[in-house]
Amino acid sequence: MVQPHPMDAKRRYYRPFVSNDPHRKHEVFLVGINPATPISETDLSLSEYIQLLTNEDAFYGKYEELRRAQGKPAVSRTRGGINNFVKEIQIQSGKAVLETNAIPYPTPNVKELKKTPRDVIEKAEAIFYRLLMEQTPNVLLVHGKMSLKCLVNALASHQLLDDSTIDLDQPLKTIEAKAPFVEFTYPNGNKGAIFACRHFMYYGKTGESFADFRCNVIHYLNDKPVP
Protein backbone atom coordinates (compact mmCIF):
# COMPACT_ATOMS: atom_id res chain seq x y z
CA MET A 1 0.00 0.00 0.00
CA VAL A 2 2.79 2.47 0.82
CA GLN A 3 5.31 1.57 -1.89
CA PRO A 4 6.04 4.26 -4.51
CA HIS A 5 3.78 4.52 -7.54
CA PRO A 6 5.44 3.26 -10.78
CA MET A 7 4.97 6.73 -12.30
CA ASP A 8 6.63 8.50 -9.39
CA ALA A 9 10.14 9.44 -10.54
CA LYS A 10 10.98 10.63 -7.01
CA ARG A 11 10.18 7.16 -5.58
CA ARG A 12 8.49 8.53 -2.48
CA TYR A 13 6.62 6.32 -0.04
CA TYR A 14 2.99 7.00 0.73
CA ARG A 15 2.23 7.85 4.36
CA PRO A 16 -1.33 7.00 5.40
CA PHE A 17 -0.56 7.27 9.13
CA VAL A 18 2.06 6.95 11.84
CA SER A 19 0.78 4.97 14.82
CA ASN A 20 2.09 2.61 17.47
CA ASP A 21 -1.17 0.68 17.18
CA PRO A 22 -2.59 1.12 13.65
CA HIS A 23 -5.09 -1.73 14.07
CA ARG A 24 -6.72 -0.05 17.04
CA LYS A 25 -10.14 1.49 16.41
CA HIS A 26 -9.63 5.24 16.25
CA GLU A 27 -12.73 7.29 16.99
CA VAL A 28 -11.10 10.49 15.73
CA PHE A 29 -9.15 11.28 12.56
CA LEU A 30 -7.07 14.44 12.24
CA VAL A 31 -6.99 15.19 8.51
CA GLY A 32 -4.50 17.46 6.75
CA ILE A 33 -3.85 17.86 3.05
CA ASN A 34 -0.60 15.87 2.63
CA PRO A 35 2.66 15.09 4.46
CA ALA A 36 5.34 17.76 3.96
CA THR A 37 8.52 15.77 4.64
CA PRO A 38 9.05 13.08 1.96
CA ILE A 39 10.77 9.78 2.69
CA SER A 40 11.87 7.86 -0.39
CA GLU A 41 13.58 4.63 -1.43
CA THR A 42 16.93 6.43 -1.27
CA ASP A 43 16.32 7.12 2.43
CA LEU A 44 15.02 3.73 3.60
CA SER A 45 14.11 0.29 2.30
CA LEU A 46 10.40 -0.54 2.13
CA SER A 47 10.61 -2.88 5.13
CA GLU A 48 12.44 -0.25 7.20
CA TYR A 49 9.84 2.34 6.27
CA ILE A 50 6.91 0.10 7.18
CA GLN A 51 8.49 -0.54 10.58
CA LEU A 52 8.78 3.21 11.13
CA LEU A 53 5.08 3.74 10.44
CA THR A 54 4.22 1.63 13.49
CA ASN A 55 6.82 3.19 15.81
CA GLU A 56 6.06 6.85 16.46
CA ASP A 57 9.27 7.61 18.36
CA ALA A 58 11.45 6.05 15.66
CA PHE A 59 9.50 7.73 12.87
CA TYR A 60 9.71 11.22 14.30
CA GLY A 61 13.38 10.68 15.09
CA LYS A 62 13.94 9.98 11.39
CA TYR A 63 11.65 12.88 10.47
CA GLU A 64 13.75 15.31 12.52
CA GLU A 65 16.97 13.87 11.09
CA LEU A 66 15.77 14.45 7.52
CA ARG A 67 14.64 18.00 8.28
CA ARG A 68 17.95 18.91 9.88
CA ALA A 69 19.80 17.49 6.88
CA GLN A 70 17.77 19.88 4.72
CA GLY A 71 18.70 22.84 6.90
CA LYS A 72 15.22 23.09 8.41
CA PRO A 73 14.12 23.24 12.07
CA ALA A 74 13.72 19.74 13.52
CA VAL A 75 10.00 20.35 14.06
CA SER A 76 7.89 22.38 11.64
CA ARG A 77 5.29 24.91 12.81
CA THR A 78 2.56 22.59 11.55
CA ARG A 79 3.96 19.57 13.39
CA GLY A 80 4.30 21.57 16.59
CA GLY A 81 0.72 22.80 16.31
CA ILE A 82 -0.62 19.32 15.61
CA ASN A 83 1.26 17.83 18.57
CA ASN A 84 -0.10 20.47 20.96
CA PHE A 85 -3.68 20.17 19.69
CA VAL A 86 -3.79 16.36 19.65
CA LYS A 87 -2.31 16.14 23.14
CA GLU A 88 -5.03 18.41 24.50
CA ILE A 89 -7.84 16.59 22.68
CA GLN A 90 -6.68 13.17 23.89
CA ILE A 91 -6.24 14.34 27.48
CA GLN A 92 -9.64 16.05 27.62
CA SER A 93 -11.64 13.37 25.79
CA GLY A 94 -9.76 10.11 26.30
CA LYS A 95 -10.32 9.35 22.60
CA ALA A 96 -7.63 7.94 20.30
CA VAL A 97 -6.66 10.30 17.46
CA LEU A 98 -5.13 9.02 14.22
CA GLU A 99 -3.26 11.58 12.13
CA THR A 100 -3.73 11.18 8.40
CA ASN A 101 -4.08 13.20 5.21
CA ALA A 102 -6.64 13.47 2.43
CA ILE A 103 -3.75 12.96 -0.01
CA PRO A 104 -1.14 10.84 1.84
CA TYR A 105 1.58 11.46 -0.75
CA PRO A 106 4.39 13.66 0.61
CA THR A 107 5.66 16.84 -1.05
CA PRO A 108 7.61 19.74 0.46
CA ASN A 109 4.83 22.17 -0.47
CA VAL A 110 1.40 22.43 -2.07
CA LYS A 111 2.88 23.86 -5.28
CA GLU A 112 4.74 20.60 -5.90
CA LEU A 113 1.69 18.58 -4.90
CA LYS A 114 -0.31 20.27 -7.66
CA LYS A 115 2.36 19.26 -10.20
CA THR A 116 2.35 15.59 -9.14
CA PRO A 117 1.10 13.11 -11.80
CA ARG A 118 -2.61 12.43 -11.46
CA ASP A 119 -2.10 8.66 -11.20
CA VAL A 120 0.14 9.18 -8.17
CA ILE A 121 -2.48 11.39 -6.53
CA GLU A 122 -5.31 8.97 -7.30
CA LYS A 123 -3.49 6.16 -5.52
CA ALA A 124 -3.05 8.44 -2.50
CA GLU A 125 -6.74 9.33 -2.48
CA ALA A 126 -7.65 5.64 -2.69
CA ILE A 127 -5.37 4.84 0.26
CA PHE A 128 -7.04 7.51 2.38
CA TYR A 129 -10.56 6.38 1.46
CA ARG A 130 -9.72 2.76 2.23
CA LEU A 131 -8.37 3.77 5.66
CA LEU A 132 -11.47 5.87 6.29
CA MET A 133 -13.80 2.97 5.44
CA GLU A 134 -11.81 0.52 7.55
CA GLN A 135 -11.88 2.74 10.64
CA THR A 136 -15.13 4.73 10.14
CA PRO A 137 -14.15 7.34 12.75
CA ASN A 138 -16.99 9.18 14.46
CA VAL A 139 -15.23 12.53 14.16
CA LEU A 140 -13.03 13.99 11.43
CA LEU A 141 -11.02 17.05 12.46
CA VAL A 142 -9.89 18.77 9.28
CA HIS A 143 -7.35 21.58 9.17
CA GLY A 144 -7.04 23.84 6.15
CA LYS A 145 -9.49 24.75 3.37
CA MET A 146 -7.77 22.56 0.76
CA SER A 147 -7.96 19.55 3.10
CA LEU A 148 -11.66 20.17 3.68
CA LYS A 149 -12.40 20.42 -0.04
CA CYS A 150 -10.54 17.16 -0.73
CA LEU A 151 -12.42 15.34 2.03
CA VAL A 152 -15.81 16.63 0.90
CA ASN A 153 -15.01 15.69 -2.70
CA ALA A 154 -13.98 12.18 -1.62
CA LEU A 155 -17.19 11.62 0.32
CA ALA A 156 -19.35 13.15 -2.41
CA SER A 157 -17.74 11.02 -5.12
CA HIS A 158 -18.86 7.94 -3.17
CA GLN A 159 -22.36 9.38 -2.61
CA LEU A 160 -21.84 9.69 1.15
CA LEU A 161 -22.90 13.33 1.14
CA ASP A 162 -24.36 15.90 -1.24
CA ASP A 163 -21.70 18.53 -1.87
CA SER A 164 -24.21 20.81 -3.60
CA THR A 165 -25.62 21.61 -0.15
CA ILE A 166 -22.22 22.49 1.34
CA ASP A 167 -20.79 26.01 1.10
CA LEU A 168 -17.01 25.67 0.98
CA ASP A 169 -16.49 29.29 -0.06
CA GLN A 170 -17.25 30.74 3.36
CA PRO A 171 -14.27 31.76 5.56
CA LEU A 172 -12.73 29.03 7.70
CA LYS A 173 -13.35 31.11 10.82
CA THR A 174 -17.07 30.87 10.00
CA ILE A 175 -16.79 27.13 9.34
CA GLU A 176 -14.92 26.66 12.65
CA ALA A 177 -17.94 27.94 14.56
CA LYS A 178 -20.16 25.20 13.14
CA ALA A 179 -19.97 22.23 15.47
CA PRO A 180 -20.03 20.06 13.49
CA PHE A 181 -19.71 21.58 10.03
CA VAL A 182 -21.42 18.63 8.35
CA GLU A 183 -22.55 15.10 9.24
CA PHE A 184 -22.79 12.01 7.06
CA THR A 185 -23.39 8.26 7.18
CA TYR A 186 -20.85 5.56 6.27
CA PRO A 187 -21.90 2.61 4.07
CA ASN A 188 -22.03 0.40 7.20
CA GLY A 189 -24.48 2.78 8.89
CA ASN A 190 -22.02 4.42 11.28
CA LYS A 191 -22.30 8.19 11.66
CA GLY A 192 -19.51 10.64 10.95
CA ALA A 193 -19.13 14.32 11.84
CA ILE A 194 -16.72 16.79 10.24
CA PHE A 195 -15.21 19.67 12.18
CA ALA A 196 -12.97 22.05 10.22
CA CYS A 197 -10.51 24.75 11.23
CA ARG A 198 -7.59 26.82 10.01
CA HIS A 199 -4.30 25.12 9.21
CA PHE A 200 -2.37 24.05 12.31
CA MET A 201 0.71 25.99 11.27
CA TYR A 202 -1.14 28.87 12.97
CA TYR A 203 -1.84 26.97 16.20
CA GLY A 204 1.33 27.76 18.16
CA LYS A 205 2.07 26.47 21.66
CA THR A 206 -1.25 27.20 23.35
CA GLY A 207 -3.65 27.49 20.42
CA GLU A 208 -5.28 30.55 21.99
CA SER A 209 -7.00 31.61 18.77
CA PHE A 210 -8.34 28.04 18.38
CA ALA A 211 -9.84 27.94 21.89
CA ASP A 212 -13.50 28.00 20.81
CA PHE A 213 -12.94 25.34 18.15
CA ARG A 214 -11.07 23.12 20.60
CA CYS A 215 -13.80 23.55 23.21
CA ASN A 216 -16.52 22.61 20.71
CA VAL A 217 -14.64 19.47 19.67
CA ILE A 218 -14.03 18.36 23.26
CA HIS A 219 -17.67 18.89 24.23
CA TYR A 220 -18.84 16.90 21.21
CA LEU A 221 -16.42 14.04 21.92
CA ASN A 222 -17.58 13.91 25.53
CA ASP A 223 -21.25 13.81 24.46
CA LYS A 224 -21.92 17.18 26.06
CA PRO A 225 -23.92 20.02 24.50
CA VAL A 226 -21.69 22.21 22.36
CA PRO A 227 -21.59 25.74 23.88
7 domain-assigned: no
Considering the domain architecture, whether residues 67 and 147 belong to the same structural domain is answered as: no
DSSP β-bridge partners for residue 142: 31, 196
According to the model, what pLDDT value does residue 22 have? 85
- Mean pLDDT per 10-residue segment, the chain (227 residues): 96 96 93 95 96 94 92 91 96 95 97 97 98 98 97 97 95 94 97 97 93 96 78
Query: By the 8 A CB rule, do 88 and 207 touch?
Result: yes
According to the model, what pLDDT value does residue 224 have? 73
Pairing mode, if any, of strands 97-101 and 191-197? unpaired
Considering the domain architecture, whether residues 133 and 193 belong to the same structural domain is answered as: yes
Considering the domain architecture, whether residues 131 and 58 belong to the same structural domain is answered as: no
16 domain-assigned: no
Considering the domain architecture, whether residues 188 and 167 belong to the same structural domain is answered as: yes
According to the model, what pLDDT value does residue 9 have? 96
Closest CA to 148 of 29, 22, 19: 29
226 domain-assigned: no
Domain holding 56, by residue range, is 40-75
CATH code of 167's domain: 3.40.470.10
Residue 29 and residue 132: Cα distance in Å, rounded? 9
Secondary structure (3-state) at 194: strand
Considering the domain architecture, whether residues 111 and 202 belong to the same structural domain is answered as: yes
Query: By the 8 A CB rule, do 61 and 186 touch?
Result: no
Considering the domain architecture, whether residues 204 and 93 belong to the same structural domain is answered as: yes
Number of compact structural domains in the chain: 2
Considering the domain architecture, whether residues 119 and 131 belong to the same structural domain is answered as: yes
Considering the domain architecture, whether residues 65 and 138 belong to the same structural domain is answered as: no
12 domain-assigned: no
Residue 132 and residue 100: Cα distance in Å, rounded? 10
Taking the CB of residue 57, how many other CB atoms lie within 10 A of it? 9
